[in-house]
Amino acid sequence: MPHVAWTELEAAARRDALSRIQDQFTADPDRLSRMTLDAAGLHLDLSKQSWSRAGFEAALALARACDVEGRRAALFAGEAVNLTEGRAVLHPALRAPDGAQFRALGEPVSAEVEAVRAEMKAYAQALRYGNETGATGRRFETVLHIGIGGSDLGPRLIWDALRPLDPDVDLRFVANIDPRDMAEALAGLDPETTLAIVVSKSFTTQETLLNAQAAKAWLADALPAEGLAKHFIGVTAAPEKAQAFGCGRTFAFRDWVGGRYSLWSAVSLSCVIALGWEPFQAFLDGAADMDRHFLEAPLEKNAPVLLALAEIYNVDGLLRGARSVAPYAHALRRLPAFLQQLEMESNGKQVRQDGSPVGRQTCPVVFGEPGANGQHAFFQQLHQGSQVVPVDFIIVGRTCDKTPSTYLWANALAQAQALMVGKNEAQAHAELMASGASEAEAGRLVPHKTFSGDRPSTTVLMKRLTPQTLGALIALYEHKTFVEGVIWDINSFDQWGVELGKVLAKALLKDAAKGEPSPELDPSTADLLRRLTA
Ligand code: F6P
């Protein structure tokens, strides 16, 4: 029964809180092999987490009691796992090799997935070779990707991670409703050689539609009206809306692709155009490798399952409400932002599937910056702050073809080591005395120079950042997010929490147009609105 398993996990965590991570290596000589594994080109090390062997076993028992294996089978079988919207959740179908047999709510979908992939590939090639041109017959040199949230963060991450230094086709992104974002994206571009790709699953998102209109006005100013549609591509689950907007061509995906899980679909068309098809196919293949691992590996050696269990141990066992993500690779600088949406929009919920309260902590606050930059910003808090924040270190052996990344990964390993080992008072005192401090001075400084240590981290290591390892890394976190949702018994695939703000913004726009707050507004909002419209 899950509640017994929860009680046992909490009891194990309480016991583990009394011992140090470092000592667990002596207590359990097999700890390293028990808590490390290789999957789809990634090496995962969970041995610097707070759990003892007993805690680890209690977490696995919880996963079994919550039927992670059964729910995983339901996901891949295309059942309606998104209960509040009555939808299947089938992003793995988008990266499966040709010939797969996925079904969404019983309806076969793999042939359609393959057809869209073929269409993307052909279109991207035609564009790259100049066979598909703009209104004035010139080859497209830049793609302007317009979208927000799940229609932006994934393609941005792919592009930053895989872009060549001197791309054949450049890619610019615009997401924010702030006109400055569009102005920056358009700076220096030539309308004749710019293709706008409007990406929106719903094709109703205010920011994206406003930006699409701004791009249309910019293009229409310079191009013959009859050729304008050639400069507009829509990627959406509502193709009729994209056509009505004026997109000359649309690429579709289905409602069983969640926005934040959509980067495997035509949502990444802009990246396919700018990178070429082969890297994108390799990216899909890497994710498919992780899918296979997730489906086939036993729970105790299953990377997404163990990553999820480490989080649950921290959040619910040890009451740690935040997690930091530190990718030690400039190319992965967008990973924290991507994971923020993936995890916080998926699991930032407090009711179970049946509507009753979860009654325990769910998704932590996820934040991060690329290493080594983060070390010089918020790592002070991670080392000596009063709240313990677990860290995911993403380490790449070689980030650049020519130069080994030794300085980079040495820093990452050092940070993880420092977090775990710390520095006790005797060590701090001895160091101060060795540096010539007086006894009084040493006494005064010791508390400031002491590190409690015993702060947990996970390491995900890849030898190289390639399209495959990038695909595997993202799929790893997707499945981790799913497993957590199963264990918390929440629906990871809706996002009702973002709706209220959208509705209120529409009402405020009306008030702004009138220049007068409506009487039902609270005093603070009314006052701020008056200040902004004065
Ligand atoms: O407002 C949140 C959200 O619905 C996300 O879930 C989604 O990724 C984003 O907006 C963009 O939505 P769309 O692709 O429909 O424009």
Mean pLDDT value across residues 29-57: 98
Query: Which residue, 282, 300, 321, sits at the end of a domain?
Result: 282
Task: Using most ligand atoms within 8 A of CB, pick from 151, 494, 499, 504 the residue to mutate for ligand 1.
Answer: 151
pLDDT per residue over 223-251, tens digit each?
999 999 999 999 999 999 999 999 999 99
Q: Which of 253, 282, 311 is the last residue of a domain?
A: 282
Residue 28 belongs to a domain: no
Q: Check: CB of residue 16 under 8 Å from CB of residue 55.
A: yes
**Residue 368 CA to ligand 1 centre (angstroms):** 22
Categorize the per-residue pLDDT at 1 as very low, low, confident or very high, splitting at 50, 70 and 90: low
Q: What is the pLDDT of residue 174?
A: 98
Q: Residues lining ligand 1, CB < 6 A?
A: 148-151, 200-202, 205, 208, 259-260, 345, 495, 498
What average pLDDT does range 86-112 have in this prediction? 98
In a domain, residue 23? The reply is no
Give the pLDDT mean for 61-86: 98
- pLDDT class for 2, splitting at 50, 70, 90? confident
**Average pLDDT of the residues in 15-21:** 97
DSSP string, 68-133: HHHHHHHHHTT---BTTTTB---HHHHHSPTT---EETTEE-HHHHHHHHHHHHHHHHHHHTTSSB
- Order of strands across the sheet that contains 457-464: 36-39, 42-45, 457-464, 391-398, 322-328, 365-368
Average pLDDT, the chain: 97
Going by CA atoms, what residue is nearest to atom 2 of ligand 1? 498
Catalytic residue among 240, 376, 425, 441: 376
Q: Which of 251, 282, 313 is the last residue of a domain?
A: 282
Q: What is the pLDDT of residues 413-432, one digit of tens each?
A: 999 999 999 999 999 999 99
Q: What's the whole-number mean pLDDT along residues 213-232? A: 97
480 is catalytic: no
Q: Which residue from 89, 148, 346, 494 has its CB within 8 A of the most atoms of ligand 1, so it is best to mutate?
A: 148
Which residue puts its alpha carbon closest to atom 1 of ligand 1?
A: 498
User: Domain residues for 513?
Assistant: 499-533
Instruction: Summarize pLDDT for 330-377 with one digit per residue, the tens.
Output: 999 999 999 999 999 999 999 999 999 999 999 999 999 999 999 999
The Å distance, Cα 345 to ligand 1 centre, comes to 10
Q: Which one of 107, 425, 499, 502 is the catalytic residue?
A: 502
pLDDT tens for 113-129 read 999 999 999 999 999 99
Q: Residue 135 belongs to a domain with what CATH number?
A: 3.40.50.10490
Q: What's the CA gap between 478 and 199, in Å, rounded?
A: 21
The alpha carbon of 124 and the centre of ligand 1 are apart by a number of angstroms equal to 25
Whether 377 is in a domain gets the answer no
Q: How far is the CA of 147 from the centre of ligand 1 (A)?
A: 9
104 to 9, 82, 110, 256, 490: CA distances (angstroms)? 35, 12, 9, 7, 20
Provide the pLDDT for residue 509.
95
Residue 337 to residues 135, 343, 368, 398: CA-CA distances in angstroms? Answer: 36, 10, 8, 23
The stretch 506-533 carries a mean pLDDT of 96
| Residue recorded with tokens 């998704």 | 363
Q: How far is the CA of 352 from the centre of ligand 1 (A)?
A: 22
- For residue 12, pLDDT over 90 is answered with yes
pTM listed for this prediction:
0.97
Q: How far is the CA of 248 from the centre of ligand 1 (A)?
A: 23
In a domain, 198, yes or no: yes
Best of 145, 495, 500, 504 for a ligand 1 pocket test (most atoms within 8 Å of beta carbon): 495
- Looking from the CA of residue 259, the nearest atom of ligand 1 is 8
Mean pLDDT of 292-313: 98
The question of whether 43 is a catalytic residue gets the answer: no
Which whole number is the average pLDDT over 142-160?
Answer: 98
Q: How far is the CA of 144 from the centre of ligand 1 (A)?
A: 18
Structure letter (DSSP) for residue 319: -
Q: pLDDT at position 263, please?
A: 98
Share of the chain above pLDDT 90, in %: 98
Q: Given a cut of 80, is residue 404 above it in pLDDT? A: no
Provide the number of structural domains found in the chain.
2
Split at pLDDT 50, 70, 90, the class of 403 is confident
For residue 137, pLDDT over 70 is answered with yes
To the query of whether residue 376 is one of the catalytic residues in this protein, the response is yes
* Residue 405, pLDDT score: 85
Q: Is the ipTM of this complex over 0.95?
A: yes
Catalytic residue among 8, 132, 311, 345: 345
